[in-house]
Structure 1
Amino acid sequence: MTTIRGDVLTLPGAELGPENPLPPLRPLDEAHHVDARTRADLPRDMARQVGYAPLRGVLPTRLLDGYGRERADLTLDTLILENDRLRVTVLPGLGGRVHSLFHKPTGHELLYRNPVFQPADFALNGAWFSGGIEWNIGATGHTTLSCAPVHAAEVTAPDGGPMLRLWEWERLRDLPFQVDLWLPDGSDFLYVGVRIRNPHEKPAPAYWWSNIAVPEERRVLAPADEAWHFGYERTLRRVPAPESDGVDRSYPLRSTYPADYFYEVPDGERRWIAALDDAGHGLVQTSTDLLRGRKLFLWGAGTGGRRWQSWLTEPGTGGYAEIQAGLARTQLEHVKLDAESEFAWLEAYGPLSADPVRTHGTDWAAARAEVAGRLDAALSRADVDEAYAAWRATADTEPGERLATGSGWGALEVLRTGEKLPGTPFDAATLGPAQEPWAELLRAGSLPVPRRVTPPGASLVGPAWRDMLETAPAEPLTEYHLGVAQWHAGDLAQAVRSWERGLELAPSTWPLLRCLAVADRESGHLERAADRYTEAFDDLCAERRDGEVWTAATAALGREAIEVLLAAGRTAAARTVWHRLRPATRERGRFRLLLACLLLAEGDTDGARAVFDAGFEVADLREGAEVVGETWARITDEPLPARYEFRMRPPEAS
């Protein structure tokens, strides 16, 4: 019999730390985009979707950049879904990630199961971790829910057994979604029903990629003769599969640099992707046809890829590659979801054993045919379609026992709209302190005045909330949030006017001054930005109290201020800000790197070199970022030490 139970997982891990209290106003730093010239050469439908509603920023979410790399035993809540063949371990507090898919008869773990929890700056809003199966929704990149809780409950599966339902409200696109996982009795396959709903009166851009980590000592196979290659040179080009430029890319370790390969699966072909070891054993994923895309991401065997592997996992424990499945052919695309409609599909994950001579032979067509035949014997296309139809009849079933609680943002949207979303209730009981001011705005037409001095809470930026802020009494906090919403909408001049109005009566000026400083920086007024950052940091230091949120605000504002002051050539002012940071903040790797930049600006090359020689780790180093190597190059012509080598593209492309 299939069962669902709660448990805990203890492993070495780094604490996530607090959210960054500063609203993320600057443009999204996302590596996955292409220029207009590249788009012009793409197939028409792909080009249209690549250009459709690209994300400009990550509002209304906040950045998660407060983690480090110091690990201690960390205990995580888990939900275990189990039958006599498979044991599935889910992390409801971390985006509903499937941490483990264990096949009992063979004793094989089918996924790459990360032995540590180490956040890194790969998600759209910062913190992300590798391993397992991740449900990526929102926009190009890793979801903002990577390290966030989701709702979970038990419902009845199509076969009458228990089914685990996960659901949340995705805030970048304002879309609710659900993920239903169940194991039919005696099944070797985990079934996953996914639904994204658009309850609004206008179409919305939708994005989904199921991201599956597998050991990289595998061959990855998919039903395609071509793929779209995307590397960190930010070029998208069609290449033959599996071999391109003289290398068989279906073996992740045969490539040198990290890259994506989006397979061009022909219309009418069954959608699947598999990763098999030398003996022909491994994991296969398949789905109904709506989930059309298939992808391999590999780190490669080069220095940068190896460094990232050890950075994200644990040195000496083996690396991983990612096989993925998505709504579009590539992850650079977004798909239009019509008003008051939904996307729904079924996925299946399970073990596959095939003839290793054929699957690892040089005849790609024969290798693919071998896997396709074995998959059909284990789980036919008709079986998947039948399971999908059965699941659709249960998708609206109201959840039973609640097993985990996500955020209150969905409940706030339901409170605003009165929407009824069968199967995924966003109960008023889940409203929390972050939502309380906005619920008050909804009820009374004004934001409550804070009872104590504290950094402003999270902003809401949707059109309906912006309209409410525009008609609310013009208090400083309201003008602050209104400016953030206007900035998000692209009305930059009006945002500046709102922030300037707020300054006139604000008891706390640093949040507004910081917003104005960002606006100055983005519009090229560097000197004025430097003035405002200096004034904002002075005000924050005079106001700050003890506590995690104040420490986070000081670190975030101090970092931005130093960067702008250095860019403006105000080295002495940057040094003043540095000295006013908390000692523990100055010891963090990001700030050690900032110190090296400060020393270089002061003309102390030897001092900057000493910072590197002493060693530091920038815990929140962004995917694809080259700032460490660039700073080293300003110090010396010597080769970059291996511990700082994170470059993900060839030197000639840097």
Structure 2
Amino acid sequence: MTRLWTDSIRLPISAVGPENPLPPLAGMLDPPYKPDFSEVPDEIENGARYGQVSTVVPYLVQDGYQRSPEMTTTDAVVLENARLRATFLPGWGGRLWSLIDKDRDRELLHVPAIVQPANLALRGAWFPGGVEWNIGTRGHSPFTCDPVHAAVVAHVGGPVLRMWEYERIRGVVFQIDAWLPEDSPVLLVGVRIRNPSLDTVPMYWWSNAAVAQRDDLRVLAPATRAFRTSYRGQLECVNVPLQVGEDASRPLRARTAADYFYDLPAESSRPWIAALDTTGYGLAQISTPFLSGRKLFVWGETVGGRHWQEWLGGPHPTPYCEIQAGLTRTQYEHLPMPPEAEWAWVEAYGPVTAEPNAVHGADWSAALAAVEDVLPRRELLDGAFAEFRKNADQPPQGMLGHGSGWGALEEIRRERAGEAPLCGPGAPFGGTLGPAQWPWLTLVDTGELPEPAPEDVPVSYILGADWSSRLMRSPQHWATCYHLGVIAHAGGDLETARRYYETSLVHVETAWAWRALALVDSVHGGKADAVEGMLAAHTLAPGIRQLAVEAAEALMTADEPKRALQLIAELPATVAGHGRVRLTRVRAALAAGLRDEAARLLRGGIEVPDLREGEVSLDQLWAEACPGEPLPTRYDFRMK
């Protein structure tokens, strides 16, 4: 008999903390390399050029966490039958946190001992472990550290856990149904994405499963070549499993961090990937054909690769790798999703045991055949897919958790605009409006956007042609003009954004409009104008750490590092002591020629909670400040 119940887990968690109040208008962080697609098929390069975003607006960045985990209880939902126990965390993006094989009493996934956010997701905060669902655009999901809606759906096959949300960049609804038929050897997960708009939108999905790197773990997927990246930029075609000097199927033997995107046969009717130990036992992930991509990610055995795992998992982490499944051959690509389209597929996760000598033998074809023989048959997936589609619109019977109110707001906006509903009865959003949506609900209800006090931080942002039209028709004040500027700015129309920001400042001077205008000036303007705007913004809101850093960075870009140091020296202690501000101080000291001051700060130890790989080379800062001194491990985040 299958059971579904609510539970809780208790472990050390560093709270995500408050969002960055400043919209991320400066754009996405460039990778530490320029991608080189010269060795891959043209369709991969074309897919990589399509659908990229320059900002995650209307989302705000999550960078308010520290590195101070505390014992915390978090809600969970458990699905269990006679053979498997699956634990989900609706409050953390709906992540599948644990999958236990009850026959062997073995955990199939990597379950970290702590939850320590780090700056690796689209919105910043991210943590490893379990199976993460990534949607919308390349990168870790906007919902990685956010709650999603969750409910139980009852039908003849047993209880179903349903989770869903409204993804605001692409304007789509995604739904995840998870169920465990009685005595099923696999957890079944149905995924549906619905595009309610009349426009084609770029789409992205990858399901990322983390698995522990046990001795001689081998990762297998039905391919003889892969497209490999190793954080140098080249997307190169390599043989699988062997390439020069390295067996790509054995994560513990990887020298450096790398992605292996397997080139599965186009006609594959049951794409799969598996991670098996020396006994031939481990986790397999299979799916219906629509989810056709498969990937292995390894951290590698460099000091930097090991340090990243410690940064995420504590001082003695269990090494892990990731086996992943997606819509495209590589994670650089997006697919065009037609207007009013609906995409769906089924994934299955469960234990497999294959003949170990074949799995770990030198004959790759024999190893693949040994795994193929023990995987669930295609008929099981086809039956599960039919069941998923039949029940996908069945209304939930009982709510288990709530996500954001953005889907509810969009439902109201669409109804008032005479547009088709956002989604069907299977994924309801009613009753979830909150403070972030209230200004926009007022705009829809009354035709007027409320005018907050100039010192009040705007609580949220919005995108879309209909919202722009409503703002234009609203009585004009500083907030309407500012939000119209943000919409234009996020869309790349900097001159229109400039006009709106300047008009907003004519109404009332606010830190928010000054800061946004400075960002425009940093691209189309002068360094002096950008500095003036950032300093004006900082003066109006001196307690916002992120704004202080941006003002100091503007001064350094304008070749005024001593003024940057003076600005930092005048900050409140609560702001100046943050690792991000201290790192900015090191960079300013070096730029000002104060090497001894930079060395003193670095030797004293600086911990930047939201450090992002590739944004700054701590090893190079150390070499410049402390020439000839060995690089401390705590500053070694090199991925290549």
TM-score in same-fold range (> 0.5): yes
Share of identical aligned residues, percent?
44
Cα drift, residue 384 of structure 1: 0.8
Structure 2 spans left out of the alignment, 5+ residues: 416-420
Cα drift, residue 349 of structure 1: 0.2
**CA pair 420-555 structure 1, distance change in 2 beyond 3 A:** closer
Following the alignment from structure 1 to structure 2, what is the Cα–Cα distance between the partners of residues 125 and 30? Answer: 14
Aligned residue for 1:271?
A: 271
In structure 1, the residue corresponding to 2:350 is in which secondary structure? strand
Question: Is residue 639 of structure 2 the alignment partner of residue 641 of structure 1?
Answer: no
Question: 1:432-511 alignment to 2 at 5 Å?
Answer: 432-450=434-452, 453-506=455-508, 508-511=509-512
Following the alignment from structure 2 to structure 1, what is the Cα–Cα distance between the partners of residues 23 and 76? Answer: 31
Q: Select between 263-272 and 177-186 the one with higher mean Cα deviation.
A: 263-272
Following the alignment from structure 1 to structure 2, what is the Cα–Cα distance between the partners of residues 84 and 367? Answer: 30
Question: Is residue 189 of structure 2 the alignment partner of residue 187 of structure 1?
Answer: no
Contact kept in structure 2, 1:477 and 1:502, CA below 8 Å: yes
Aligned residue for 1:545?
A: none
Following the alignment from structure 1 to structure 2, what is the Cα–Cα distance between the partners of residues 32 and 133? Answer: 26
Question: 1:222-621 alignment to 2 at 5 Å?
Answer: 222-269=221-268, 270-375=270-375, 379-418=376-415, 419=421, 421-450=423-452, 453-506=455-508, 508-523=509-524, 525-541=526-542, 551=543, 554-621=544-611
**CA pair 171-424 structure 1, distance change in 2 beyond 3 A:** farther
In structure 1, the residue corresponding to 2:373 is in which secondary structure? helix
Following the alignment from structure 2 to structure 1, what is the Cα–Cα distance between the partners of residues 537 and 526? Answer: 16
Question: 1:50-89 alignment to 2 at 5 Å?
Answer: 50-89=48-87
In structure 1, the residue corresponding to 2:275 is in which secondary structure? strand
Q: Superposition RMSD on alpha carbons, in Å?
A: 1.6
TM-score, length-scaled by structure 2:
0.96
Cα drift, residue 584 of structure 1: 2.4
Instruction: Give, as a single letter, the amino acid of the residue that structure 1 aligns with 2:348.
Output: A
Contact kept in structure 2, 1:153 and 1:166, CA below 8 Å: yes
Cα drift, residue 216 of structure 1: 2.0
In structure 2, the residue corresponding to 1:260 is in which secondary structure? strand
**CA pair 242-279 structure 1, distance change in 2 beyond 3 A:** same
Contact kept in structure 1, 2:29 and 2:615, CA below 8 Å: no
Cα drift, residue 453 of structure 1: 4.1
Cα drift, residue 522 of structure 1: 2.2
Cα drift, residue 203 of structure 1: 1.0
Contact kept in structure 1, 2:562 and 2:588, CA below 8 Å: no
Query: Over residues 158-210 of structure 1, what are the superposed CA-to-partner deviations in whole Å (9 max), with x where a residue is unaligned?
Result: x4310000000011111100000000011121000000000111111110000
Query: Over residues 549-604 of structure 1, what are the superposed CA-to-partner deviations in whole Å (9 max), with x where a residue is unaligned?
Result: xx5xx101001111111221223432332134331232222222122123223433
Contact kept in structure 1, 2:225 and 2:238, CA below 8 Å: yes
Instruction: Give, as a single letter, the amino acid of the residue that structure 1 aligns with 2:436.
Output: A
Contact kept in structure 2, 1:95 and 1:146, CA below 8 Å: yes
In structure 2, the residue corresponding to 1:134 is in which secondary structure? strand
Question: 1:134-153 alignment to 2 at 5 Å?
Answer: 134-153=132-151
Following the alignment from structure 1 to structure 2, what is the Cα–Cα distance between the partners of residues 31 and 78? Answer: 35
**CA pair 625-573 structure 1, distance change in 2 beyond 3 A:** closer
Contact kept in structure 1, 2:87 and 2:97, CA below 8 Å: yes
Contact kept in structure 2, 1:589 and 1:616, CA below 8 Å: yes
Contact kept in structure 1, 2:545 and 2:581, CA below 8 Å: no
Following the alignment from structure 2 to structure 1, what is the Cα–Cα distance between the partners of residues 141 and 458? Answer: 24
Cα drift, residue 625 of structure 1: 3.2
Q: 1:176 aligns with which of 173, 176, 193?
A: 173
Query: Over residues 454-500 of structure 1, what are the superposed CA-to-partner deviations in whole Å (9 max), with x where a residue is unaligned?
Result: 11121112222122222222210011100000111221100000000
Contact kept in structure 2, 1:168 and 1:406, CA below 8 Å: yes
TM-score, length-scaled by structure 1:
0.94
**CA pair 461-74 structure 1, distance change in 2 beyond 3 A:** same
Aligned residue for 1:24?
A: 24
Contact kept in structure 2, 1:139 and 1:206, CA below 8 Å: yes
In structure 2, the residue corresponding to 1:393 is in which secondary structure? helix
Contact kept in structure 1, 2:5 and 2:78, CA below 8 Å: yes
Q: Select between 419-428 and 345-354 the one with higher mean Cα deviation.
A: 419-428
Following the alignment from structure 2 to structure 1, what is the Cα–Cα distance between the partners of residues 634 and 315? Answer: 12
Contact kept in structure 2, 1:415 and 1:428, CA below 8 Å: no
Instruction: Give, as a single letter, the amino acid of the residue that structure 2 aligns with 1:644.
Output: Y
Following the alignment from structure 1 to structure 2, what is the Cα–Cα distance between the partners of residues 461 and 234? Answer: 32
Instruction: Give, as a single letter, the amino acid of the residue that structure 2 aligns with 1:236.
Output: L
Contact kept in structure 2, 1:461 and 1:486, CA below 8 Å: no
